[in-house]
Structure 1
C-alpha cells in the first residue's frame, strides 16, 4: 500500500472512531442557540471535541500501550483506578445514550413505544454481538460512515444555499465556553484513550517493517486529515443550526432539531434513511464500548472468559437502566461526571504528548493532583452546590467559565520544571 493511500485509510479509521452517532445530535442545537456567535461556539467545541481527542491519538502513538499506560507515571494504582473509572463511565453514559438516540431518531417518530422497550431489545442484541464477535460490524462501519457523511454534507449544502445569511441572538453568556463544555459531551477525549490504542495496534500489525518514526509520522498525517474532516462536519452542522434559528421552538431537543433539519432539507424518505444509518452507527458504538470494557476486565483477571461474560452482562444491564431515559436527561446526568473526569483526562493526554524532558513522574503527579483539586469547584457547581464555595471560586481564574483548573495546572507544570533546572 502506498503512503498516500495508507494515510487516507488511517485517517478514515480515525474519523470513524470519533464520529459516533451521538456526536450528530450535539452541533445543530448548539448552533441554533449560538446566533451570530456560531463561529466562536464552533471554536470552543472543536478544541474539546477535535483537538484534544486527536492529541490523544498522538499520545497513543508515542506510548504504544493501553489506557493503563496514560496514568502510569502518576502511579500504578492511580493508572488502574483511572482506567476502571473511564471504562465505567463509558459503559454507564455514552453507551446507553446510543440506545436513547436510536429511540428518538428511528423509533419515536414512527412508533408509539416506550424507551424501556427499545433499550431492552437494543442491549439484548448488543450482548449477542459482544459474546459472538463478528466482522459484520467492521463491514457495516466501512459503509455507514461514508453514507452518513454524504447525507450530512447534503444537509449542510442545501441549508447554506437555501437560507439567508441571517442569525439570531445567542442565548449563551459565554459562547466559547458553551462550545467547550458541549464538546465534553462527545466523550471523544475518553474515546481517544479508550479505543485509540486499537488504531495503533492495527498500524503496528500492518507496518511491521516501518520504524517508530515512520509510524508516528503516519499517525500525525492521518490525524490532521481526520481532524479537518471533523471540523468540516461539526462547523457545518453548527452553522446549519444557526441559519435555521427561526424554524424551531426555543425548547426544541437535540434529536428533534436534527430530525427537523433533515426533514426540511431532504424530505421524509431521506430522513428515514438517516434514522436507520444513525441507529446502526449507534449500535456499533455500543458494541465497541461494551467489548472494550469486557476485554480490559478480562485482562485484569488472567484472561478469564467468566470475567468477560460478567462484565458484558453488567455493561448491558447498565445500558438498559440508563437507556430508558431521554437523550437530554442522560446529557444532564453526564455533566457532573464530565466536569470531574474530563480535566484529568485532558491533562494526561497533554502530558503524554509533550517531550519526555518536561514530563517527569514528579510533573505528572503534581499537575494531575493540581488539576483534580481545582476542578472540584467546577464539579460542585455542576451539581448545584456552587454557591457554597462561591468565595473560593472568586479567587480562581477562569472558574466562572468552568475551567478553573487550567491556569493552576499550567503554573504548576512550569514551576516544577523550573525547580528541576
Structure 2
C-alpha cells in the first residue's frame, strides 16, 4: 500500500484548489460582501455552503461512486450518456472556459490598453489566441499539473490575495454598508444561490477524473485508498476556498464608500486602486490572469480526458485542440453575452447535479440503482426545463403558477418536488421488495 506524504497531499489539494478557483470565485464574494453589508457573515455562510460545501461533497460523491459515469448510471444508462456530456460541454467550451478567457482579458489586459483598442474585437481575438495557446500547452502534459499548480500557480495566487488582505488591515477601506435587496431579507439563502454561479459543484463532478488520474500516477490503485485520498484533497481545497471567500467577502463589505459598481470585477478594481493606487490594477490583472489560466487548464484537461475515454476515435491531444478552439470562439462573443446565457442554464442543471451528489452520499440507505434516483432526477429535470422556459421564452409569465412551490421565489423551487419524488421512489422500492418477497414465498417448496 502506497501512502502519500503530507507534502504530496498538500500539493494535490493545492492543485484541486487552483482548478476550482477561477474568475467567478474572485468576482462574486466581494460583490456579495458589499451588497450584504452588515449581514456579510450570514451571506458568506450561505455562499460557502454552496460554493465550498457542494464541491467537496461532489468530490466525495465521485470518490465513492468511482466515476461520474458510474454515478450517472445509477439513474439510467441513457442518462449516464447524456447528462455527463451536458455537464462537460457547459462547464467546458460552452460557458466556463470561455468565461475565464473573456474575463482574463477584461481584467488582465483591457485596463492597460487605450480605450479604443480595449473595445476592439481584434484586441480580444488576439488576446484569446495567446491565452488559449498557453492553456493548450499546459494541458498537453496532465501528469505535470500537480507540480505546476501545486508548486507555482497556487502559491502565487494565495500570496497575492494574502498581500491584499494584509494591506487592507493597515489601510481600512471604510465603514460597512447597509444590506441591499434580497441580502437584507434572506442573506443566507441569497448567499447560497450566489454560490451556484461559481459552477464549482459541476466542476467537482468534472475534476474527479483528473484527481483520480493524478493519484494513480503516484502509484495509488486501490479503490478505497484512491477514494480516501480524493476526499482528503477535496477537504483541503475546500478549506483554502473558504479562507479566500471570507477575505474577499470582508473586503467587499467594507467598500460601501466606493459606490455601487455593476459587478464584482469593477468593485475589486475600485478596492485595489484604493489600497495600492495605480499599481493595484496591475496586481489585480495578474491575479485574474493566473486564476483564469488555472481553471481553464483544469477544465480543458478534464474535458479532454473524459471525451477521449468516451469516444476513442480521437486522441487526447485532438480533443484538447478542439476544446481550446471552441472556447476561444465563444470567448470572443464577450463577457456580458456569456454571463447572460450562463445564469438560466446553470439554474436548470445545477439542481440535478446537487440531487445526484446528495443521493450518492446516502448510499448506505439508498441502493445504487434505486427507484429514488430515477424518480428524483426525473422530477428535478422536468422542473429545471419548465423553469428555464419560463425565464427565457415566456418572460416569467408562469411565476404565479410556479410560485406556489416553497422556496421558488428564493430560486430553489426544485427542493420540495425533489423531496416528494424521493419519497415516492422509496415507496416504490418498498413495494417492489414486498412483491418480490411474496412471490418467493409462494413459489418456495413447502416442507
Q: Same fold (TM over 0.5)?
A: yes
Q: Identify the residue that residue 69 of structure 1 maps to in structure 2.
A: 70
By how many angstroms is 1:69 displaced? 1.9
For structure 1, which segment, 134-143 or 151-160, has the greater mean C-alpha deviation from structure 2 after superposition? Answer: 134-143
Query: 2:366 aligned to 332, 345, 358, which one?
Result: 358
Partner deviation per Cα, 1:151-206 (whole Å, 9 max, x = no partner): 21232343355245532232336433332232112111111011122213333443
Query: 1:47 aligned to 32, 37, 49, which one?
Result: 49
CA distance change for structure 1 residues 25 and 391 in 2, over 3 Å: closer, same or farther?
closer
Unaligned runs of 5+ in 1: none
**Alpha-carbon separation, structure 2, partners of 1:73 and 1:211:** 19
CA distance change for structure 1 residues 17 and 181 in 2, over 3 Å: closer, same or farther?
same
Q: Identify the residue that residue 200 of structure 2 maps to in structure 1.
A: 188
Does the 8 Å CA contact 1:51/1:227 hold for their aligned counterparts? yes
**Alpha-carbon separation, structure 2, partners of 1:376 and 1:129:** 37
**Alpha-carbon separation, structure 1, partners of 2:324 and 2:14:** 29
By how many angstroms is 1:319 displaced? 1.9
Does the 8 Å CA contact 1:68/1:79 hold for their aligned counterparts? yes
Work out whether 1:276 is the aligned partner of 2:275: no
Unaligned runs of 5+ in 2: 431-447
Secondary structure of the residue aligned to 1:74 is coil
**Alpha-carbon separation, structure 2, partners of 1:178 and 1:138:** 35
Work out whether 1:375 is the aligned partner of 2:418: no
Partner deviation per Cα, 1:79-136 (whole Å, 9 max, x = no partner): 1111111111121111011111111121111113333332244334444555x44777
Q: Identify the residue that residue 289 of structure 1 maps to in structure 2.
A: 299
Secondary structure of the residue aligned to 2:112 is coil
Does the 8 Å CA contact 2:175/2:257 hold for their aligned counterparts? no
Partner deviation per Cα, 1:349-380 (whole Å, 9 max, x = no partner): 11122224314431110110111123344323
Query: 1:246 aligned to 257, 261, 270, which one?
Result: 257
Secondary structure of the residue aligned to 2:154 is helix
Give the structure-2-normalised TM-score. Answer: 0.83
Query: 1:260 aligned to 245, 262, 270, which one?
Result: 270
Work out whether 1:319 is the aligned partner of 2:327: yes
Does the 8 Å CA contact 1:43/1:179 hold for their aligned counterparts? yes
CA distance change for structure 1 residues 290 and 11 in 2, over 3 Å: closer, same or farther?
closer
Q: Identify the residue that residue 227 of structure 1 maps to in structure 2.
A: 238
**Alpha-carbon separation, structure 1, partners of 2:339 and 2:200:** 14
Secondary structure of the residue aligned to 1:71 is helix
Does the 8 Å CA contact 2:18/2:153 hold for their aligned counterparts? no
Q: Identify the residue that residue 314 of structure 2 maps to in structure 1.
A: 304
**Alpha-carbon separation, structure 1, partners of 2:223 and 2:327:** 41
Query: 1:200 aligned to 207, 212, 221, which one?
Result: 212
**Alpha-carbon separation, structure 2, partners of 1:218 and 1:125:** 30
CA distance change for structure 1 residues 127 and 229 in 2, over 3 Å: closer, same or farther?
closer
**Alpha-carbon separation, structure 1, partners of 2:305 and 2:280:** 37
Does the 8 Å CA contact 2:12/2:146 hold for their aligned counterparts? no
RMSD, aligned CA? 2.8
Secondary structure of the residue aligned to 1:357 is coil
CA distance change for structure 1 residues 304 and 223 in 2, over 3 Å: closer, same or farther?
closer
For structure 1, which segment, 236-245 or 144-153, has the greater mean C-alpha deviation from structure 2 after superposition? Answer: 144-153
Does the 8 Å CA contact 2:174/2:256 hold for their aligned counterparts? no
Does the 8 Å CA contact 2:18/2:295 hold for their aligned counterparts? no
CA distance change for structure 1 residues 312 and 202 in 2, over 3 Å: closer, same or farther?
closer
Secondary structure of the residue aligned to 1:404 is coil
Does the 8 Å CA contact 2:103/2:335 hold for their aligned counterparts? yes
Q: Identify the residue that residue 118 of structure 1 maps to in structure 2.
A: 127
Provide the aligned length of Structure 1 versus Structure 2. 415
**Alpha-carbon separation, structure 1, partners of 2:18 and 2:78:** 32
CA distance change for structure 1 residues 328 and 181 in 2, over 3 Å: closer, same or farther?
farther
Work out whether 1:168 is the aligned partner of 2:178: yes
**Alpha-carbon separation, structure 2, partners of 1:88 and 1:286:** 13
- Structure showing greater Rg: 2
Query: 1:343 aligned to 347, 351, 355, which one?
Result: 351
By how many angstroms is 1:71 displaced? 0.7
Partner deviation per Cα, 1:282-325 (whole Å, 9 max, x = no partner): 224323323432333332333533x852x445423432332124
